[in-house]
Amino acid sequence: MRTPVWPKNWLGLVLNKAEVQSYSQNIIEWPKGRLDFSDGCLVMGVLNVTPDSFSDGGEFFAPDKAVEHGLQMAAGGAAIIDVGGESTRPGSASVSADEQIRRVVPVIEALCKKTNVPVSIDTYKFEVAQAALDAGAAMINDITALSDERVGELAVERRLPVVLMHMQGTPATMQNEPKYDDVVGEVLEFLLDRAKRAGKLGISNDMIFIDPGIGFGKTTEHNLSLLNNIAKFVATGYRVLVGTSRKRFIGQITGKEKPAERIFGTAATVALCAAAGVSIVRVHDVADMVDVVKVINKLNPDFPD
């Protein structure tokens, strides 16, 4: 395999491909889905079926509008559509499992009938995950990194991928003065521990994605440190998912108060992540970010091989 040439001015270092991740198997397949990383980074579309999302203010709360938007993301090049029925914005309150199920199941069922793009369920609640998978979802995105091991056992039973994210505190408390001695080291240690636990449950390494949890219990400085060191997460051998889209730290840097106006700031972080070997970027503006990753993937012709 050839050694990838990555811009030092973006990452600050150049890693040998063997130090980063084995790309001998660029395609992962499971009963309800398939992801092909042969060309590099893929895009996950965010579909919030909530009345209080920070990014869209409930624009897609109605099931018909949510389905329409999900199909638009699929047409725009999304490799996965991530459906969530509970806002996890800073300060948000928990939503019951029954209410989440009421919100997401009709949308998941409709999407699975109308598109072949895999649907992911964004939840940490076992009952919601189970109902979503029964409705056709093919992946679990858990912001608590399988704090409820039953969710992991469900993933083993259904033979599907999981996303393990780091969060300090809960959505209601996470931005109340988050503190770390070493944010990169502590987040990385947590994710490796949770990934190993997932492995012990029976989830294979190729079905585990780790997510540093940008904006979840982190200050702007913490978020920037994690992004500047994202190559260290890629170097673990686990595939990495990163969600920076429209987040507050981008607004603080750019001065854009409205989340929908943070598209170019988001694009910069997406480009950085794609160049670093991140496998999936989770975004709201799918078609635009698909263009970003397409260009970055071509600018790194030796990565993947």
43: helix, strand or coil: strand
Q: Is-contact 30 120, C-beta < 8 A?
A: no
The per-residue pLDDT for 51 is 77
The count of other CB atoms within 10 Å of the CB of residue 35 is 22
130: helix, strand or coil: helix
Tokens matching residue 53? 């999302």
Q: Is-contact 65 56, C-beta < 8 A?
A: no
pLDDT exceeds 80 at position 14: no
More confident residue, 161 or 174: 161
Q: Is 102 exposed, middle or buried (0-12, 13-18, 19+ CB in 10 A)?
A: middle
Q: Residue 178 — pLDDT band, cuts 50, 70, 90?
A: confident
Average confidence (pLDDT) over 182-188: 96
Looking at 165-174, 184-193, 208-217, which range is the least confident one? 165-174
More confident residue, 64 or 5: 64
Q: Residue 53 — pLDDT band, cuts 50, 70, 90?
A: low
Answer yes or no: pTM beyond 0.85: yes
The per-residue pLDDT for 149 is 96
Looking at 28-32, 54-58, 177-181, 222-226, which range is the least confident one? 54-58
DSSP per-residue string spanning 229-285: THHHHHTTSSEEEE--TT-HHHHHHH---SGGG-HHHHHHHHHHHHHHT-SEEEES-
pLDDT tens track for 224-283: 999 999 999 999 999 999 999 999 999 999 999 999 999 999 999 999 999 999 999 999
Whether 282 is a known active-site residue: answer: yes
Q: How far is CA 236 from the centre of its chain?
A: 17
Looking at 21-30, 192-201, 238-247, 263-272, which range is the least confident one? 21-30
The count of other CB atoms within 10 Å of the CB of residue 166 is 24
Please state whether beta strands 208-211 and 80-84 pair in parallel, antiparallel, or not at all (unpaired).
unpaired
Average confidence (pLDDT) over 278-296: 97
The count of other CB atoms within 10 Å of the CB of residue 39 is 12
Catalytic residue among 158, 194, 246, 247: 247
Residue 288's alpha-carbon distances to 68, 98, 120, 193, 271, in angstroms, are 18, 34, 21, 34, 12
Catalytic residue among 89, 194, 239, 282: 282
The per-residue pLDDT for 19 is 41
Average predicted confidence (pLDDT) for the chain: 88
Q: Residue 23 — pLDDT band, cuts 50, 70, 90?
A: very low
Cα–Cα distance for residue pair 183/60, rounded to 1 Å = 34
Class of domain 32-299: alpha beta
Residue showing tokens 């409709």: 110
Residue 170's alpha-carbon distances to 92, 124, 186, in angstroms, are 9, 12, 17
Residue 298's alpha-carbon distances to 93, 181, 305, in angstroms, are 42, 38, 12
Beta carbons within 8 Å of 221's beta carbon, 6+ residues apart: none
Q: How far is CA 153 from the centre of its chain?
A: 20
